[in-house]
Amino acid sequence: MALNDTSSSDYWNYLFVDLADPRTNDWPLIKSPVPGLTILAAYLYFINSLGPRLMANRKPFKLEKTLIVYNLIQVMVSCWLVFEGLDAAWLRHYSWRCQPVDHSRSPQAFREARGVYVYFLAKISELLDTVFFVLRKRDRQVTFLHLYHHTVMPMISWGTTKYYPGGHGTFIGLINSFVHIIMYAYYLLSALGPQMQKYLWWKKYITNMQMIQFCMAFIHQMQLLFTDCGFPRWSVCFTLPNAIFFYFLFNDFYQKSYKKKKAAAAKRAAEELLDNNNDPTVKDHNKIAALETNTKKVL
């Protein structure tokens, strides 16, 4: 029994201490996977069970001011992450083809690690997106895609912060943060009230941007298969399938939300036109209108 306990302890230390980056391993929520997994478990329990039961006999919360502040903070954080990703890495020091992690304790390396950690904290904070959906009774927006995305991203960013806080993998965080600037800006404008709806015609293009980001991430990660710079090649076993899966999920959402709805609306319009043409009253009305038009042209 003691031997088994020792073996388990050694395995735990090897996996979560020896392999971890010593610079980030003691940062809050990073040392052990338990706090993060507990947050995700509580999140899923609230979304799928507790939240709907609490809201069953209540009116939906409006949360106007809360949403304005929340979305503004998300825009600001995403802007900071994009600036840090470009200024501290990709526009100055990083190779676009293959970039290893700088595990040193230099100010530059710590700056890169800090950016990765803030990105992880941002993914944790974004769980509130779904919480707000439940409190506002927007159940239609709590889709499999939404839950999968919000559950997987904190786990991936936790692993990145703990083991490889920097290097090649941060490109995904950079482009994702850029898309989130646009996305949360849209949510911010939407939260300002109905008077902003006329300026929000570009919603579907956010989904297009999300699909493009997964294509970019796939191509960028593929380079690891042909280039060796010290960044772990085995990471593509997680990143490439995930990029493909996310792409098809978002594409399916786009087809259902926009193209299929547009086709259905066109079909309904055609059916209404056909019904009108089969209506004798409408036929006579159309004939009179056509006659009046032709008469005006002759005159």
pLDDT in tens, 154-173: 999 999 999 999 999 999 99
149 is catalytic: yes
**Tokens encoding 259:** 């193209």
User: For residue 256, what pLDDT band results from cuts at 50, 70 and 90?
Assistant: confident
Task: Count H helices and E strands in the chain, helices first.
Answer: 12, 0
Q: Which H/E stretch holds residue 232?
A: none
Task: State the catalytic residue, choosing from 93, 103, 146, 149.
Answer: 149
What confidence tens digit (pLDDT) does each residue in 197-221 have? 888 998 889 999 999 999 999 999 9
Is residue 296's pLDDT more than 50? no
Nearest residue to 191 (alpha-carbon basis) of 85, 290, 65, 276: 65
Nearest residue to 136 (alpha-carbon basis) of 44, 200, 51: 51
CA gap 106, 109 in Å, rounded? 5
Average pLDDT over residues 235-245: 93
User: For residue 9, what pLDDT band results from cuts at 50, 70 and 90?
Assistant: confident
3-state secondary structure of 164: coil
pTM to 2 decimal places: 0.85
Q: Which pLDDT belongs to residue 2?
A: 45
3-state secondary structure of 57: coil
User: For residue 295, what pLDDT band results from cuts at 50, 70 and 90?
Assistant: very low
What is the percent of the chain with per-residue pLDDT over 70, rounded to a whole number? 84
Q: Which pLDDT belongs to residue 10?
A: 87
**Tokens encoding 71:** 């979305």
Nearest residue to 122 (alpha-carbon basis) of 167, 84, 86: 84
Stretch among 63-72, 141-150, 169-178, 287-296 having the lowest mean pLDDT:
287-296
What confidence tens digit (pLDDT) does each residue in 10-44 have? 888 999 999 999 999 999 999 999 999 999 999 99
Is residue 262's pLDDT more than 70? no
Report the chain's mean pLDDT, rounded to a whole number. 88
Q: Which pLDDT belongs to residue 172?
A: 96
